[in-house]
Amino acid sequence: MKYNSTRGYDEELTAAEAIIKGIASDGGLFVPEEIPRVGKDFIKELSPLSYTERAKKILALFLDDYTGRELEKCVNAAYGNDKFDHEAIAPVKEAGDIFVSELWHGPTSAFKDMALQLLPQLLTTAREKSGEEKTSLILVATSGDTGKAALEGFADVPGTKIMVFYPQDGTSLMQKKQMVTQEGGNVSVMAVKGNFDDAQNGVKRIFGDRDFIYTLLKENTKLSSANSINWGRLAPQIVYYFSAYADMLAAGKIKLGDKINFCVPTGNFGNILAGYYALCMGLPVHRLICASNANNVLTEFIKTGAYNKNRKFYKTLSPSMDILISSNLERLLFHLTGNTVKVKGWMGELQSMGHYAIGSEILGKLQSIFWGSFADDNGIRATIKKVYDNQNYVIDPHTAAAFSAADDYRMETGDSRPMVVLSTASPYKFAGSVLNALGKDCAGKDEFALLEELSTLSNTPIPAGLKKLADAPTIHDKVCAKEEMIDLVADFAAAK
């Protein structure tokens, strides 16, 4: 299978080549030239398998230039060796009439581990396959969870360096602590004055600077990405949609062929886009429900077809969703239109004017699959309390946004199909916000005292990766302006 740019640049790459490169030469995103289709028998055969076995089968359809042995090695390294604290990797739990796919049992307690434990394996294998000798410099802009998950995955991986930019005041204290304490001889972490979009736009500008890229190449360095703009980050996320369906099938909660709904906390649109690929492959999905926070640019887009980032930016209880430019939406627009000229035009309008509109025809296609709603911080607090009071189940603020959107969807549509909420982070990553929502007084208590309190309240263990941060020293304490990012990348690339 070959991969092409969403913006039409004449570039046809294998999966391994696309993973190494990260982003297309014209600034577009790589998409598969066709989406493989599977039937009911394929889905039925997944049901008795482990998560790793399911991953091998699904990824083989997209990464067909990797041998079976190569994929097996990558997948086993990503999900084995007790890296995840649950044997199911992504277990499906029940909270009343909601099924919850818990995607946060990896080493950084966030769903990003599901892909970012695998991406380094895919990248290093791609480098070996292609005989790549240049250093791969991974650039990451993060709103909180991607940064730590990428650092954890790439730390001390041979042939790579990784540099993470995060908004100075735009993450939770625990997310920041995870990043600034990261060890590794090939890592750099930098706070950016501004919000996530400032960091993300800075990284995109670097990828789009051909002179800079050429200079790095002469110095034996190639840029790549661990954000969901990289196909090697997005493809692994398709797996857990199939896995959730297979688990529900195995448990007798649905019959083969029954359509279900997925509700997804959404910021950069990569997580929910993976669900779209699963649907296109043949997974019986009725609706993909996009859950936003107060930065509800996606909810408005799904309802009106108009995307407008020119709005007030809110710092919320769910910082991983504090995003006004959802990069992966570009891939969806390509698949809905098949028109690279339109996509390139819309992305140009977004960059120059901050808005674009897709028109009624494409909006109709969008709304036949997606539905959107949002919850502000008050709604998120109320949902955390409601789920705990009714189900004795503790959720983080991002997952709460999805529970709220799932309720909104059912109330407005009357659709009673099985609903799966993707739970994207452990509540321990946002212990203060969760305890406040549950009516607990957190004043004067540090983050680690709050972890202990949440553990007592929920009768669950503190994730090991978070508990050990209490004694971890700060290693990365630098702050930069967005205009300084490119010079800092050059310095890091040149450092021995």
The first and second tokens of residue 160, run together, are: 């790579």
Tokens of 17: 């080549």
161 backbone dihedrals φ, ψ, rounded to 5°: -130, 155
Eight-class DSSP state of 484: G
Rounded to whole angstroms, the Cα distance separating 267 from 320 reads: 7
| Backbone phi, psi, residue 287, to 5° | -140, 145
Tokens of 136: 């791969």
Residue 105 near residue 240 (C-beta atoms within 8 A): no
Closest CA to 278 of 243, 323, 229: 243
d(CA 75, CA 125) in angstroms, rounded, equals 11
Q: 146 CB contacts (<8 Å, ≥6 apart)?
A: 112, 116, 140, 226, 227, 228, 320
CA nearest to 308, candidates 298, 318, 317 = 298
How many whole angstroms separate alpha carbon 280 and alpha carbon 37?
Answer: 7
Find the helix or strand (DSSP H, E) in which 150 lies.
helix 145-154
Q: Provide the β-strand partners of residue 261.
A: 419
The catalytic residue among 21, 56, 112, 204 is 112
What distance in Å separates the CA atoms of residue 442 and residue 154, rounded to the nearest whole number? 35
Task: Write the burial class of residue 469 (CB in 10 Å: 0-12 exposed, 13-18 middle, 19+ buried).
Answer: middle
Q: Quickly tell me which residue has 């079976």 as its tokens.
A: 68
308, 355 Cβ separation under 8 angstroms: yes
- 400 with 422: CB under 8 angstroms? no
**262 SS3 class:** strand
Q: Which candidate, 332, 289, 285, 274, places its Cα nearest to that of 43?
A: 285
Strands of the 419-423 sheet, one edge to the other = 92-95, 98-102, 419-423, 260-265, 285-292, 370-374
Q: 31-35, long-range: CB within 8 Å, 24+ apart, which pairs?
A: 31/3, 31/4, 31/5, 31/6, 31/231, 31/331, 31/334, 31/335, 32/1, 32/2, 32/3, 32/62, 32/231, 33/1, 33/2, 33/3, 33/4, 34/1, 35/277, 35/280, 35/281, 35/335
Residue by residue, DSSP assigns 70-91 as HHHHHHHHHH-TT-SSSTTSS-
* Tokens 């739970």 belong to residue: 423
**Is 73 an active-site residue?**
no
Catalytic residues: 112
